[in-house]
Amino acid sequence: MILHRLSLVLLYALTLAAIIYLAVEGGGYYGASEVDRPHHPLHEAWKPSGIIGHGIGIIGSLLMLILLLYSVRKRFRFMQKRGNIRYWLNYHIWMGITGPILVLFHTTFKFGGLVAVSFWSMAAVALSGIFGRYLYMQIPRSLSGNELSAAELEQQEHQFSNKLWEELKGKEEWIERLTDVYGGRQVSRSSGVESIIFLLFRDLTMPLRFARVKHMLSESLGVTAAEVRQIAGVARKRAQLERRISFLKTAHTLLHHWHIFHRPFAVVMLIIMLVHVVVTIVFGYKWIF
């Protein structure tokens, strides 16, 4: 778990470093007009067929091909026991973000015709992927990434409730007050798009409500700062679990519709990208090989 998190931090740091380098070093070239670019000192290296421009295009394309292994991991039986599915998804998302960014720099922010179709398909895939990840996170799962059964969900909720009862020494009024602040089951009042908007709002305002809970506890119960964090943390986890249980059916429905939207754009993007690569090779554009 720790190594996985460290690897993700490193990968996203590399992505950020690459963006900063390309934006700073190539900013003058990317900002120049198409008429002036051939006369720019960076043109030979930074143009789409140059050593830098072509290189980042190859790396970005490879990342978008490698990320398909996640689909293989999900669908083929011989791959289903190879690693935690959550880890696969996290790397899939990193490649789905980094690949399109590198391809965007490869185009030097100038694209049209068939390449434009591929780019906007790529943008749709990347943005919908972020939304899909959010939906995926709303479905309660085990540490291995498998969806929890109804019995397992009930057991987890029971454990959190008991833990909160112990932390608050059976003070029912405080359990109710914490439930009202976090509002774990309020999502059941809405459905579909309204549910997503509600969930996003609750997640974005979670730090504020967490601070409010800690203030309430420290002011009224007189417990230590460590105990306040412990109680507030348990209450938050319990509310999140209740919310996800309440949202479970809607999440499955939305994920089904999301797949219908996400996959066609991914297929179009990959087909046009492969056509682009083949045409490039046929016309003799090679990198350092």
Q: Tens-of-pLDDT digits for all 289 residues of the chain?
A: 788 889 999 999 999 999 999 999 999 999 888 888 999 999 999 998 899 999 999 999 899 889 888 888 877 777 767 777 788 888 988 998 898 899 889 988 887 666 677 777 878 887 777 777 777 777 776 555 566 666 777 677 777 777 777 766 666 666 666 666 666 555 545 555 666 677 777 777 777 777 777 777 776 666 667 777 777 777 777 777 777 777 777 777 777 777 777 778 788 888 888 888 888 888 777 775 5
Residue 61 lies in a domain: yes
97 and 179 together in one domain: no
CA distances from 158 to 146, 161, 175, 211, 241 (A): 20, 5, 14, 25, 11
155 and 102 together in one domain: no
Would you state the pLDDT for residue 169?
67
Residue 130 lies in a domain: yes
Domain count, the chain: 2
Cβ neighbours of residue 252 under 8 Å, at least 6 residues apart? Answer: 139
Residue 233 lies in a domain: yes
- Per the CB < 8 A criterion, the answer to whether 287 and 51 are in contact is yes
Would you state the pLDDT for residue 187?
53
Q: What are phi and psi of 147, to 5 degrees?
A: -65, 140
Alpha helices by DSSP H, listed for the chain, are 2-31, 43-46, 51-66, 69-75, 85-106, 114-137, 150-167, 172-182, 193-204, 206-220, 225-282
Would you state the pLDDT for residue 141?
67
Closest CA to 99 of 122, 75, 128: 122
Residue 163 lies in a domain: yes
- Taking the chain, what is the end-to-end CA distance rounded to the nearest angstrom? 38
Which amino acid would we find at residue 213? Answer: V
203 and 133 together in one domain: no
241 and 264 together in one domain: no
117 and 237 together in one domain: no
Domain with 205 in it:
151-253
Q: What are phi and psi of 204, to 5 degrees?
A: -70, -30
Would you state the pLDDT for residue 176?
67
Cα separation, 96 vs 150, whole angstroms: 32
Residue 40 lies in a domain: no
Would you state the pLDDT for residue 15?
96
Closest CA to 207 of 189, 182, 228, 243: 182
181 and 164 together in one domain: yes
137 and 165 together in one domain: no
Residue 38 lies in a domain: no
162 and 203 together in one domain: yes
Cα separation, 31 vs 41, whole angstroms: 13
Residue 146 lies in a domain: no
17 and 123 together in one domain: yes
Which amino acid would we find at residue 237? Answer: K
Residue 37 lies in a domain: no
107 and 247 together in one domain: no
Cβ neighbours of residue 29 under 8 Å, at least 6 residues apart? Answer: 37, 40, 42, 43, 46, 108
67 and 127 together in one domain: yes
132 and 193 together in one domain: no
Beta-bridge partners for 141: 147
